[in-house]
Amino acid sequence: MAVGRELPDDLVADVLRRLPPRSLAVSRCVCVAWRGLVDARRLLRADLLPRSVGGIFLNYCALYSPEFLSSPTARPTISGDLEFVPGISEVVDNCNGLLLVEETTDDYVCNPATRRWARVPTCPVPWRKDRRYRIKCLAYDPTVSPHFEVFLIPSLPHPSKHPQPQSEWPPSSYALQVFSSKTWCWEERSFVLEGGHLEERVFVPEGGRVVGKLYWREELYVLCKIGSVLR
């Protein structure tokens, strides 16, 4: 990959890795070649990036669109106005600077800093009418990949009071619908329990609401109201 007409990739990479973490992160915006070089060489260390909260988005029941709240002592670095997203209704999830917003018929992933957005294609499974799929999660780590993923996590029916001898509950495997911006398509992924505790199974018991979630080191953790941690 040629970053410049005169400088080889190894030399440019050696210069970039000497930059402070914040400046190195900004250098990814210079051009596609630099972004590819930083990502391919894993020059950007997530543990060294300064993390500060510039504000939070809140969904109010009485308001049609979310509101952005920031500290009165600091000028916000981004605008909380999300009107650039078509038909925005509410923010349903966020991850490392990206927002997953929901509209009546469509979902969008947007970056409020750059004001760029992308419509998530309709899932081939009619999940909007299927009560099994209650939770949507966004996964994105710019230090690993410029691509994001959207997870549709199904609920798991309560166990039968009179289970059959050959039945298994909870099941040892479960399927999720996952959209990847890299392939730009949905796929069904099966998750299998590889030993450990019940909480490591990827399922949401029926009626279990999401309290919070964390995307860390390319793994998605979801905390449910019933006290289970899903991985």
| Mean per-residue pLDDT of the chain | 71
Tens-digit pLDDT profile for residues 163-211: 555 555 555 566 778 999 999 999 988 765 444 443 433 444 444 444 4
Of 217 and 20, the one with more pLDDT: 20
pLDDT of the residue at 132: 52
CA distances from 193 to 6, 30, 159, 175, 200 (A): 52, 43, 18, 12, 7
Three-state secondary-structure class, residue 36: helix
Distance of CA 60 to the CA centre of its chain: 22
Highest mean pLDDT among 76-80, 87-91, 156-160, 213-217: 87-91
Q: Which residue type, as a one-letter code, is found at position 127?
A: W
The residues, ordered by sequence, that sit 6+ positions from 57 with a Cβ below 8 Å of its Cβ are 66, 67, 68, 69, 80, 91, 94, 99
pLDDT of the residue at 83: 81
CA distances from 142 to 42, 73, 152, 169 (A): 11, 29, 21, 37
Question: Which of the four pLDDT bands, split at 50, 70 and 90, describes residue 28?
Answer: confident
pLDDT of the residue at 208: 42
Burial class (CB in 10 A: 0-12, 13-18, 19+), 40: exposed
Q: What is the pTM of this model?
A: 0.62
> Whose structure tokens read 């199974």?
201
- CA gap 204, 173 in Å, rounded: 13
- CA gap 94, 221 in Å, rounded: 14
